[in-house]
Amino acid sequence: MAGGFTSNISAKAKEVMKEEYCKATEFLSDATKSRAYLYPFKGIIYFVTHKSLWKPFSSRILPTLGLTIGVFASMLFFTYVPQLAILVFINGPLAIFTTILLILNESSIIINIFSRNFLLRDALLDAFDGTLIARNAINIVKEGRQLKSGNDPVSRLGKILKSPFSKFTPKALIRYVMYLPLNFIPVIGTIIFLFFQGRSRGSVVHDRYFQLKGWPSPQQQDWLKRYTSPYTTFGTVATLLEMIPVLSIFFTITNAVGAALWAADIEQGKTQMIQGTAGNLRETAKKAE
């Protein structure tokens, strides 16, 4: 009897492992097809090579740089030793690196809260909308703000008709705190933590795009659920870039540009997402009407 029970448990375990392996394989396949992980890097190149997009960012360099340096320095000074003392019992010698990684992530969250809600709120909006105009997605931008005449994408941006990006919500902060204990698991825990952060980050990168499309929440969630893999990979790469000290604010801007490039490609049917992206987009849009 005991042998039969053990055999059943073993069979169930193999079945679960097979299911998880299939899910992971499908996830990676969808992410690879979409090439969404490339858009944060495309955003960097596009931003650097299009000087007109520098305008929203240039006037905020000094205050945001001061915020970035201040937060990173304070977190290292006040929290490194206490967190190292905890993680060294779990991660051993690797605690030196996992603690630094944890502090970088914590700092990026704090910087994002303040910059997105105060210092960079308008800059991110202008960078996103300006990129859409530069990519000839003018009609969709018209749904969210008035446009002026001219050739400069950013200079054409007029009065905002629809409120910009949503603010950092308490739910997002609670979710972040819930995931923090994962860092107590050596190496793999930190990787899983970053994955969850990437998934959370990816779910908001197209908030402005959905807003311009006029999609209500149910249609947004349906779209994000359908394309979880691409948005998670984009969010993970974006999160890792924004964890880089001093340059995190720069990458916050370029990630917004990358998200706009992705939105423009979706709008124009140029993406290599899961089969039927353009058709599914139109289907989702019809549901929203």
Q: pLDDT tens-digit profile of 207-262? A: 999 999 999 989 999 999 999 999 999 999 999 998 888 788 899 999 999 999 99
What confidence score (pLDDT) does residue 38 get? 94
Q: pLDDT tens-digit profile of 2-19? A: 555 555 665 555 555 555
Residue stretches of the chain with pLDDT short of 50: 21, 274-279, 281-282, 284-286, 288-289
Task: Yes or no: say if 252 and 119 are a contact pair by the CB < 8 Å rule.
Answer: no
Packed helices 61-91 and 95-114: angle between N→C axes, nearest 10 degrees: 150
What confidence score (pLDDT) does residue 285 get? 46
- pTM over 0.85? The answer is no
What confidence score (pLDDT) does residue 41 get? 97
Helices and strands (H and E) in the chain: how many:
14, 2
Q: Which two tokens stand for residue 241?
A: 């870039």
What confidence score (pLDDT) does residue 277 get? 44
CA distance 30 to 179: 25
Amino acid at position 229, single letter? S
What confidence score (pLDDT) does residue 257 get? 96
Task: Yes or no: say if 216 and 288 are a contact pair by the CB < 8 Å rule.
Answer: yes
